[in-house]
């Protein structure tokens, strides 16, 4: 990029293209097709793959410029944030050709089929099994906590394909069609009464061999890449359009965002709603209380420090560096903000914080905060797991002791009766 102001150059180029290309009366998918075709959906990717070969920061700058000009940028969610980069990095050309464009346009909704009832933190200990049958793989097993599985078109699936090697070596990563008879998603009702995730039962579900990402047995490496993207991804980062934009494209993007946010409507409460603390303390007349003030200040300090870490991580990503330990630090910081904010809301509201209705509609929001914040330190890898990652990768501490890393997975002791299909 020439010049001293590369961001402004990118803005100028994307707006030149946008003013010619923008047609507010197009259907949303047709507009996104145009966007993908132009290279401005993911300008940091190579020109052969819907990009323009620009630095990583150009994605953010281009999307902001398009939104700012009243247009619609790429979709939100797991497809764009996890599936697209994983496919781009690990799918072969044919699969990439097949899956990328409809993922970038938002036509395909994705979910992440990683966790199982006995394998969350110990993801490499998963047991859902894929067995090859000619050109397809037949998958059996159960996944759990799968956000959006009940309305996803495709799933990022990690399954065991070899029980005779140690646990990390026997996994394969697939893109599986969720709309087939062998896949059943059953929503789980949470203690905050939302239903954003599911149990998923895979019964002789089929995946074509050409839907393997990476190679057979290399699923752990691919899964780690997805997880690294997940740690640096915020589901509620922004919308794909400016609030005051208008036209058919925008109306459809607004409907798409509303549908998407239904799943995530409790996520702000999960994050602790620190933004409500000052207002709630004043409304309740407790803003002069020394304990309340101290608790609110702790949240503020943590938020500031974690914002700087997030900015540092973003700057590193925009310089083209792979996601690193900042993702784990940032994730830990968000858990701490949520926890401390929960404590501050409790100090402000007292027992009233448990009421789901009251004089003020925000009472229900605070009640939801109190039952939603525990999820913040679990989703995407628990706090303890982030600490293990930081200990090993940043501090160089010895790996935590483990008895099952080097023996064939079929020989690892487990509670299920012997004689099951895997023994
Ligand atoms: C809101 C939400 C959305 C989610 N969405 C998805 C999704 O879309 N797809 C998906 O696949 N999964 C999803 N998950 C699941 C999530 O990834 C798992 O819950 C998480 O990885 C923890 O696994 P687990 O629940 O099995 O807990 P466990 O692994 O059983 O952990 C239980 C406790 O033991 C601790 N622990 C475990 N191992 C260690 C260790 N080695 N050292 C120290 N402490 C340890 C944990 O920190 C935790 O406190 C979601 C979870 C939530 C809360």
What is the best residue among 111, 178, 191, 379 to mutate for testing ligand 1's pocket, by most ligand atoms within 8 Å of CB?
379
Residue 121 beta carbon below 6 angstroms from any ligand 1 atom: yes
Among protein residues, the one with the nearest Cα to ligand 1's atom 2 is 379
The atom of ligand 1 lying closest to the CA of 119 is 26
Task: Note the Cα 172 to chain centre separation in Å.
Answer: 20
Residue 387 beta carbon below 6 angstroms from any ligand 1 atom: no
Tokens 């102001």 locate to 5
Burial class (CB in 10 A: 0-12, 13-18, 19+), 417: exposed
How many CB atoms are closer than 10 A to CB 350?
10
CA 260/CA 405 separation, integer angstroms: 39
The atom of ligand 1 lying closest to the CA of 115 is 11
CA 230/CA 7 separation, integer angstroms: 26
Residue 137 beta carbon below 6 angstroms from any ligand 1 atom: no
pLDDT at 232: 63
Ligand 1 centroid vs 10 CA: distance in angstroms?
A: 40
Q: DSSP state, 49? A: G
Burial class (CB in 10 A: 0-12, 13-18, 19+), 300: middle
Ligand 1 centroid vs 150 CA: distance in angstroms?
A: 20
CA distance from start to end of the chain: 58
Tokens 């699969």 locate to 95
Ligand 1 centroid vs 204 CA: distance in angstroms?
A: 26
The atom of ligand 1 lying closest to the CA of 148 is 8
CA 182/CA 314 separation, integer angstroms: 40
Tell how strand 154-160 and strand 110-113 pair up: parallel
What is the best residue among 81, 110, 111, 121 to mutate for testing ligand 1's pocket, by most ligand atoms within 8 Å of CB?
121
Residue 114 beta carbon below 6 angstroms from any ligand 1 atom: yes
Residues 6+ apart with CB under 8 A from 384: 121
- pTM of the shown model: 0.91
pLDDT by position in tens, the chain (length 423): 444 578 889 999 999 999 999 999 999 999 999 999 999 999 999 999 999 999 988 998 999 999 999 999 999 889 999 999 999 999 999 999 999 999 999 999 999 999 999 999 999 999 999 999 999 999 999 999 999 999 999 999 999 999 999 999 999 999 999 999 999 999 999 999 999 999 999 999 999 999 999 999 999 999 999 988 886 655 455 677 777 778 999 999 999 988 888 899 999 999 999 999 999 999 999 999 999 999 999 999 999 998 888 888 778 877 877 767 777 888 899 999 999 999 999 999 988 888 887 677 777 899 999 999 999 999 988 999 999 999 998 899 999 888 888 899 999 977 664 444 444
Quote the tokens at residue 86.
Answer: 């994983």
Considering only CA atoms, which of 271, 299, 296 is closest in space to residue 282?
296
Residue 378 beta carbon below 6 angstroms from any ligand 1 atom: yes
Ligand 1 centroid vs 288 CA: distance in angstroms?
A: 39
Beta bridge partners of 137: 132, 207
Q: Are 50 and 2 in contact (CB under 8 A)?
A: no
Residue 335 beta carbon below 6 angstroms from any ligand 1 atom: no
Ligand 1 centroid vs 199 CA: distance in angstroms?
A: 14
The atom of ligand 1 lying closest to the CA of 147 is 8
Identify the H or E element spanning 225: helix 219-231
Residues 6+ apart with CB under 8 A from 22: 69, 70, 71
CA 271/CA 258 separation, integer angstroms: 20
Beta bridge partners of 174: 157, 212
CA 326/CA 332 separation, integer angstroms: 10
Residues 6+ apart with CB under 8 A from 202: 128, 139, 140, 141, 142, 143, 182, 183
DSSP, collapsed to helix, strand or coil, labels residue 279 as helix
CA 192/CA 376 separation, integer angstroms: 13
Beta bridge partners of 185: 200
Separation in Å, CA 412 to CA 172, 222, 416: 19, 23, 11
pLDDT at 238: 61
Rg (CA), the chain: 23
Residue 384 beta carbon below 6 angstroms from any ligand 1 atom: yes
Ligand 1 centroid vs 99 CA: distance in angstroms?
A: 28
What sign does the dihedral 26-28-29-34 (CA atoms) show?
A: positive
Q: DSSP state, 375? A: G
CA 15/CA 64 separation, integer angstroms: 11
Considering only CA atoms, which of 116, 123, 109 is closest in space to residue 175?
109
Separation in Å, CA 173 to CA 116, 133, 153, 158, 380: 15, 16, 17, 5, 18
What is the best residue among 378, 398, 399, 415 to mutate for testing ligand 1's pocket, by most ligand atoms within 8 Å of CB?
378
pLDDT at 77: 87
């Amino acid at each position: 990029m020439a010049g001293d102001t590369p961001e402004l150059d990118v803005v100028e180029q994307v707006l030149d293209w946008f003013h010619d290309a923008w047609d507010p009366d197009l259907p949303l998918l047709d507009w996104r097709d145009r966007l993908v075709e132009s290279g401005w959906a993911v300008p940091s990717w190579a020109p052969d793959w819907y990009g323009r070969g620009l630095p990583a920061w150009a994605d953010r700058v281009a999307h902001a410029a398009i939104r700012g000009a009243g247009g619609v940028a790429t979709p939100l969610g797991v497809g764009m944030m996890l599936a697209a980069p994983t496919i781009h990095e690990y799918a072969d050309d044919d699969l990439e050709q097949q899956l990328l464009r409809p993922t970038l346009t938002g036509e395909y909704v994705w979910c992440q089929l990683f966790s199982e009832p006995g394998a969350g933190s110990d993801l490499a200990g998963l047991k859902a099994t894929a067995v090859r049958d000619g050109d397809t793989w037949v998958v059996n097993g159960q996944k759990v906590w799968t956000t959006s599985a009940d309305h996803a078109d495709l799933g990022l699936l990690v399954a065991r394909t070899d029980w005779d090697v140690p646990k990390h070596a026997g996994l394969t990563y697939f893109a599986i069609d969720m709309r087939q008879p062998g896949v059943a998603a059953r929503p789980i009702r949470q203690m905050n009464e939302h239903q954003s995730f599911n149990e998923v039962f895979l019964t002789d579900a089929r995946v074509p061999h050409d839907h393997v990402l990476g190679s057979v047995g290399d699923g752990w490496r691919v899964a780690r890449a997805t997880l690294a993207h997940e740690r640096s991804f915020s589901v509620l980062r922004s919308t794909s359009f400016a609030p005051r934009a208008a036209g058919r494209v925008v109306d459809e993007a607004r409907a798409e965002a509303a549908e998407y946010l239904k799943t995530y409507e409790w996520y702000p409460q999960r994050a602790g709603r620190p933004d409500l603390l000052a207002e709630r303390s004043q409304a309740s007349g407790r803003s002069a209380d020394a304990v309340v003030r101290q608790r609110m200040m702790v949240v503020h300090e943590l938020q500031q420090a974690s914002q700087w870490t997030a900015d540092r991580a973003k700057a590193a990503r925009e310089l083209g560096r792979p996601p690193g330990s900042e993702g784990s630090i940032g994730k830990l910081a968000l858990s701490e903000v949520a926890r401390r904010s929960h404590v501050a809301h409790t100090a402000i509201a007292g027992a009233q914080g448990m009421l789901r209705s009251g004089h003020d509609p925000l009472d229900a929001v605070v009640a939801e905060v109190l039952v939603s914040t525990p999820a913040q330190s679990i989703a995407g890898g628990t706090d303890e797991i982030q600490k293990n990652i930081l200990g090993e990768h940043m501090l160089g501490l010895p790996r935590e002791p483990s008895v099952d890393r080097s023996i064939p997975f079929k020989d690892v002791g487990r509670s299920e009766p012997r004689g099951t299909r895997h023994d």
